[in-house]
Chain A
């Protein structure tokens, strides 16, 4: 834009004049800045941005602010809401289900990170090593992501049939392993959900890691090979350090994502058996849509969001050093 390029020349004489005129200085500078901003097409920029900003405020921040307000209210969405202060927070914090839901959610997060996080890195690194027809592996890895979650969960529900003729149990039977209860036992329900969730989600991570791997400079490998490094030390000393920024971001995203687990327990188990798969989000859903208690639902949502904010901040703080390249 032509106007922009001229911009720096405008304030200079103003400043020079201002220093000689003492008190009139700040006002004149402000007025001239405004004039300059106006001349540079400032109003156009504002008007141009206005629709986007308004839409963003209304549809993105509106619900968030509304949720905050509602967490302090008791409402049936018909009559005017009553203010109840922190009553909703007290109620959800006193609910015995919250403790178990928190433990369950953290349990899922830990399992999903321990088993689900390294897998896509491993797959991506192996796939990057393979020469030729790499699109086949990429497609195969990404295919589970394309299957709609409801469909894949209902499929896996059939696989997890706990009778001896269930799919997984039949396969186990071939090698002499007794039928497993899968989703029907409090001990195995959550690991079963983790298995499906990992299968369903790792494809996306693989694609992202593959993209990150293309940025690793190949001459580093050549140099390492000349120095006699094996495949493991090349991966450990070159590949992983080169993509650590992406790895750290993915880890944070995965932690936040797993803390918001809902679809799988909702469709697989409804939170059972004996509450073993009731997650915080499922609890929020039940407050809102089963009990019709919007105050409690939003209060717990606010608590979860606050927890995740703190977690993200701590994470950023502790990993800042590692992620800088």
Chain B
């Protein structure tokens, strides 16, 4: 029997679909053995960010010219918690990607990033990185899984305009939590704005409560990450301080749920006097939400009963766990070329600063040195003509941050710890009769049960 035309069409489309399905699961070919190596690199700026994209593309070409054995495949992929796991599962994770400082420890624990220890030894990069900052991307055995490219320590961001209106000196932000409380009360009474606010939701509540606990001299977990340690006096004092500002002084307003977005919006709109954040908050406040740059102020993290330290923030480059040894070395070469050459080469520093300034991105935000302090100083000197942020507004931060101790995030299951601490902060802010010791011990039990997993 001659097959009908219908049958042929159906068969053809069936085969086509099968081919498509098979095509989905085939992996890209590798060019191992030829001495050439190809890596995909993330964080290519989008078309809406034309200047930075042009700069990025130019650097890709320059890198490939300087390293004829390495082929780069740029991708616009950026870090996003909700798509990262899908990228990993689908094998579409770029070989190099920026992640915020909150992530490396979790990625290391889940073995979703490559161990760069050997590759760092092979390239010249190994010994040049600032060891204090590098800790965010190291495990307890000293293995390194990422390269920090920008680093900040958490401080106190404040609205200089509200400080002035409240009769406070905008050049003298509070240095202790007692002063925070007094200033917050004064701002609330004199201006009607919220004196002090604190992040409280989407795990950011636990994250900032961790910072506050550090400032009160406490810890969240023991060094090995096996035991919960926040059920103690410093954490209780930190919560009590929040409770007193919220309920006794009425200086924290009535909103109890803040995430980074709503905080940045409220702050930029002049409705919030102070909150804990790093200098890079400038971008969210001024660039995204249109705050007047001259009103943006930042100081060091206020301390309680001594100089205890603060939490760090920033971003690090990590490498795909499936990368080969050659790809890891190539990835490190690219990271060094694109993100870190500016600390060694004046022309690169200037070109990057120019591109950022042209794109109205802030140039000259203070931070922690990711390489040596002397290299950082040289870099700061090179980009001076292009600085577009009010430098003197950052002085109170710079003065304190240089010597302040940096404490890393809790070593084990940080995100789950933060998730368990969110409701503690929310309870204190929404319930006048919240039982602080019982809230903390309940959260400690929850977290302790998760530390074993």
Contacts and interface: CB of A to CB of B under 8 A. Distances in A.
**Binding site secondary structure of chain B:** helix
Interface string A215-255: 00000000000000000000000000000000000000000
Interface stretch (A18-26, A107-115, A180-188, A304-312): A180-188
A67 interface: no
A41 B4 contact: yes
Contact of A290 (B256, B321, B415): B415
A96 B449 CA distance: 10
B191 to A, nearest CB: 14
Contacts of B255: 161-163, 184
B161 interface: no
A223 B427 CA distance: 61
Given A77-B112, A78-B111, A54 B10 contact: no
B419 A273 contact: no
A91 B416 CA distance: 14
B447 to A, nearest CB: 11
B446 interface: yes
Contacts of B81: 289-290
Interface in B71-126: 81-82, 84-85, 88-89, 106-107, 110-112
B419 A91 contact: no
A11 interface: no
Interface stretch (B12-20, B170-178, B221-229): B12-20
Given A162-B254, A184-B255, A273 B415 contact: no
B239 to A, nearest CB: 13
Given A91-B453, A291-B413, A292-B110, A54 B14 contact: yes
Size category of the B interface is 35 or more
B11 interface: yes
Interface stretch (B140-148, B199-207, B296-304, B354-362): B199-207
Contacts of A157: 262
Given A162-B255, A294-B85, A273 B17 contact: no
B66 interface: no
Nearest to A97: B446
B109 to A, nearest CB: 9
A275 B81 CA distance: 21
B390 interface: no
Given A48-B6, A272-B423, A76 B82 contact: no
Contacts of A144: none
B84 to A, nearest CB: 8
27 contacts: A41-B6, A41-B7, A44-B10, A47-B10, A47-B11, A51-B16, A55-B17, A77-B85, A78-B88, A79-B111, A96-B446, A161-B255, A185-B256, A269-B201, A270-B259, A271-B201, A272-B200, A272-B257, A272-B422, A272-B423, A273-B430, A274-B427, A274-B430, A289-B85, A291-B416, A291-B419, A292-B107
Interface of B: 4, 6-7, 10-11, 13-14, 16-18, 21, 81-82, 84-85, 88-89, 106-107, 110-112, 200-203, 205, 253-257, 259, 262, 321-322, 413, 415-416, 419, 422-423, 426-427, 429-431, 446, 449, 453
Given A184-B257, A291-B413, A291-B415, 16 more contacts: A44-B6, A44-B10, A78-B88, A78-B321, A79-B111, A94-B449, A96-B446, A184-B430, A272-B200, A273-B257, A273-B429, A273-B430, A274-B430, A289-B81, A289-B85, A292-B106
